[in-house]
Structure 1
Amino acid sequence: MSQKAIKLIECPRDAMQGIHDFIPTDLKAAYINLLLQVGFDTIDFGSFVSPKAIPQLTDTKEVLAQLDLSNTSSKLLAIVANLRGAENAMLFPEIDYVGFPFSISETFQQRNTNSTIQESLVTVEKMLELCDKNQKTAVVYLSMGFGNPYGDAYNTAIVEQWASELVKRGTKILSLSDTTGVSTPEKIKELMQLLLRSFPETEIGLHLHSTPETRKEKIEAAYHIGCRRFDSALKGFGGCPMAADDLTGNLATEELITYLQQQGETLKLNLDKWQEAMLLSSKVFQGM
């Protein structure tokens, strides 16, 4: 069992964002309200991005208005892709965390946020200032953190270089992201060890995408090297619609919970509410 408490970040936003048929706002809110009662550290619930880019999440404000935060310890996280999105997120005191996907692949940064890496660095600086002024915390995702399919330069030193640039600017939480599911247990150990050692004052998390067969070995590698912040989604739904592969979804939360319990971790989760969320998910993710 670890000394540091585990932080579980449940990601219904990531699970829903690539689904073609629009999920009714009431159903999204009902599902997230159940997740809020489970006891996760954070719920990654929505995003303030262009409706053209992610039409599924155009109702983030409306979903937020229906969330019951009176009886939950979970915090809310919303994703943004530019400064305008960050400014919108600041308008809602209920939101604790604002996330930004900072890709270390130039091609993917353009595809995902319509900006260069250097322009995105400026966006992060401004977002950090906004978060400070509005009592929020930024979560910066090192997107394409395990490589990219575009032939852009990639190696461990590049990951460390950009992590260093982000930490220097005041990033408190970095989440190493495997956007296309190419990570291996060896690479997870190597990169997590490097980041945990190089940036001891920074909270380092993992946002892994994976095929079902490789989920457990990735969870195991991350846990044993010292990762204590995990992003996942119920049943492994989701993935990145900007880097599509139908088989590559999120880590499945139920597998993560089972694994961590086997390691003797006390997760303090309401498993009855979790089961209710599992049942409702078949309505939310029909046809998946």
Structure 2
Amino acid sequence: MSTPIHRLHLVECPRDAWQGMHAFIPTGLKARYVQKLIETGFDTIDVGSFVSPRAVPQVSDTAKLLAAVSLEKSHSRLLAIVANLKGSELACEQEKISDVGYPFSLSETFQLKNTNASIGQSFRTVADIYALCQKKGKELVVYLSMGFGNPYGDPWTADTVFNWVEKLSALGIKNFSLADTVGLAKPDEISLVFEGIARIFPDLRVGAHFHSRPDAWLEKVSAAFDAGCRRFDGTISGFGGCPFAQDDLVGNIATENLVYFARKHKLAPNLNSAALEEAREIFRTQIAANK
């Protein structure tokens, strides 16, 4: 019998919010922000990336940021995104990083755009990264990008998701996050995919990383929740999102909305409200500097 889940697992994603900002945010300001998120008590914080500085210059200082924050008396897990084996080696060198995230696209076009590798090549890379994470004591989270379709016309069905989850989980991977990369997911598709995964792969931990217009967040989160999902990614104020969305309103799900949803369902994590408000103020400073 599975253990009952008494609260939602909330993942705060400053990296996702930062990466689209043009003006470089000083490392010290980022560190102040992340420290407040740690004090808030989020389960996981997506703090940065170990990718090419040319590709995403905004998070090129992730190692320096990590050196400037403290996890003392905190249960928060810190996650970093990587795009290749070299990036995972750098991430695994960081003692404060507990989780390594890899974006595995279900769209061949997007995988090439995002990691400069085909899906087949990326599958082999995931196998190598997983082996390294096992050796270094890190958890690998595979983000299934374009998990609900894509704007390129590449083939997608729910079976596409199931087939790749089967292949990836056969490597030993237990942690996945379904990413609605450009905000295409419809509630019925979300229900179909999450219900199917829960039925076919009951031992896997599968979260949701939704992008959405502000008026559509609830139907997406509700569909995933009703299908058994208990891990949700968000960003304060719903800032950020994919640059390929081509719609300024298609950002991340606002963390404030996820907290409201969790409280409504009596599954709210124990968050420090004062620290959260301070984090919001710091984040507003970062946004203002990028206008």
Pick which of 110-119 and 260-269 moved more: 260-269
Q: Would the alpha carbon gap of residues 244 and 169 (structure 1) be closer, same or farther in structure 2, given more than 3 Å must change?
A: farther
Whole-Å separation in 1 of the counterparts to 2:245 and 2:101: 18
Whole-Å separation in 2 of the counterparts to 1:73 and 1:116: 36
RMSD: 1.3
| Residue matched to 1:30 | 32
Whole-Å separation in 2 of the counterparts to 1:228 and 1:86: 26
User: Counterpart amino acid of 1:252?
Assistant: A
Which of 157, 167, 175 is the aligned partner of 1:155? Answer: 157
Contact 1:111 1:242 in 2 (8 A): no
Contact 2:180 2:211 in 1 (8 A): yes
| Residue matched to 1:8 | 10
User: Counterpart amino acid of 2:108?
Assistant: E
Secondary structure at the aligned position of 2:53 is classed as coil
| Residue matched to 2:66 | 64
Secondary structure at the aligned position of 1:108 is classed as helix
| Residue matched to 1:48 | 50
> How many pairs were matched up?
287
Whether 2:93 is the aligned partner of 1:97: answer no
Which consecutive residues of structure 1, in runs of 5 or more, have no partner in the other structure?
none
Shift of 1:91: 0.8
| Residue matched to 2:198 | 196
| Residue matched to 2:132 | 130
Shift of 1:198: 1.2
Secondary structure at the aligned position of 2:110 is classed as helix
User: Counterpart amino acid of 1:6?
Assistant: L
Q: TM-score, normalised by structure 2?
A: 0.96
Q: TM-score, normalised by structure 1?
A: 0.97
Whole-Å separation in 2 of the counterparts to 1:279 and 1:255: 17
Shift of 1:281: 1.2
Whole-Å separation in 1 of the counterparts to 2:166 and 2:48: 28
Q: Would the alpha carbon gap of residues 129 and 91 (structure 1) be closer, same or farther in structure 2, given more than 3 Å must change?
A: same
| Residue matched to 1:120 | 122
Taking only the aligned residue pairs, the percentage that are identical comes to 48
Which consecutive residues of structure 2, in runs of 5 or more, have no partner in the other structure?
none
User: Counterpart amino acid of 1:264?
Assistant: K
Shift of 1:184: 1.4
Which of 248, 252, 255 is the aligned partner of 2:250? Answer: 248
Contact 2:182 2:244 in 1 (8 A): no
User: Counterpart amino acid of 1:44?
Assistant: D
